[in-house]
Amino acid sequence: MAEYVIFTDSSCDLPAQLAKEMELEVNNLSLVIEGKEYENYLDGREIGFSDYYNLLREGKMGSTSAANIESFGKLMEPVLKAGKDILYLGFSSGLSGTYNAGVQAANELREKYPERKIYTVDTLAASLGEGLLVYYAVKEKRSGKSIEEVRDYIESIKLSLCHWFTVNDLHHLKRGGRVSATTAIAGTILQIKPVMHVDNEGKLINVEKAKGRRNSIKRLAEIMQETAIEPENQTVFISHGDCLEEAEYLASIVKEKMNVKEFVINHVGPVIGTHSGPGTLALFFIGKQR
């Protein structure tokens, strides 16, 4: 069986050390704030996570763009030259053009390296939702599965990967066109917090509202309790927009209600955080359906 490498992009928001342990190749996305461009490394080496969120809290405006074909090609080609195959798990095509850039790079490289296998999977996921699918892919690979078996497994579970989240400040979602100006203003005044998820098309959907921050966090745990499959046997991922204490509070509820033993908690990186803002809190697990 040919050796293969699992690729992803930095919107997976995995802890840098975990990504290193899993031997991932990660294509870094980029962002611009205060006229300066930064690469979104998983270890925050160019701009620290808290530093970035503090700029957003000060009212600074960030912007992002999808990875380009060339950046994927530069990362993928040395692996192919070394005689290895590639499985790329990418950021939801419903939220970004990043995955499509990866697909185009893969198509160009297949012509150049026809003897190599290059597979791509649209995770239809973001942040640690994407990261959780990458985590499962690595587990399957390490159990001895072939590149095709891992690809097919991720395709089979990705619509069971539940993404539920809430935000503390609706104005960031308003700027990205995710909620209306009226909703943002009214929600802020009335302390109404949205409970949202990423749907089967990989798009952001506003599902319901909760009164107050604490209730919105509790609601995330309640939804998991209603829909998770054998939660006590899962590793649950939680990402946060520079609000670690609230992420740990959410983990404590999930642990108490569902006897979950393993968690991975990490920042929402600046690429996604640009659009969701400080105080974003997201919960990822395997459930009956998204």
269-279 pLDDT, tens digit each: 999 999 889 99
Burial 144-153 (b: 16+ CB within 10 A, else e): ebebeebbeb
Residue extents of the structural domains in the chain: 4-158, 160-286
Per-residue confidence (pLDDT) for residue 204, from 0 to 100: 87
Per residue in 137-174, pLDDT tens?
Answer: 999 999 999 999 999 999 999 999 999 999 987 665 65
* Strand-pair partners of 118: 86
Q: In this structure, are residues 194 and 212 in contact, taking their beta carbons and an 8 Å threshold?
A: no
The domain defined by 4-158 carries CATH number 3.40.190.10:
no
| Tokens 């998991």, residue located | 224
The residue with tokens 């994927």 is: 72
Q: What is the pLDDT of residue 186?
A: 57
CA–CA separation, 8 and 24 (whole Å):
7
> Band of the pLDDT at 51, cuts 50, 70, 90?
very high
Give residues with Cβ within 8 angstroms of 190, minimum separation 6: 211
CATH architecture classification, 160-286: 2-Layer Sandwich (3.30)
**Which tens digits make up the pLDDT trace of 216-246?**
999 999 999 999 999 999 999 999 999 999 9
> Residues of 258-273 as b/e, b for ≥16 C-beta within 10 angstroms?
bebeebbbbbbbbbbb
Give the pLDDT confidence score for residue 169 in this predicted structure. Answer: 73
Residue 176 binned pLDDT confidence (cut-offs 50, 70, 90): low
Pairing relationship of beta strands 192-198 and 204-211 according to DSSP bridges: antiparallel
pTM: 0.94
Strand partners, 262: 235
Question: What residues contact 4, with CB distance under 8 A and at least 6 apart?
Answer: 84, 85, 86, 87, 117, 141, 147
Strands 62-65 and 30-33: antiparallel
Q: How far is C-alpha 60 from the geometric centre of its chain's CA atoms?
A: 23
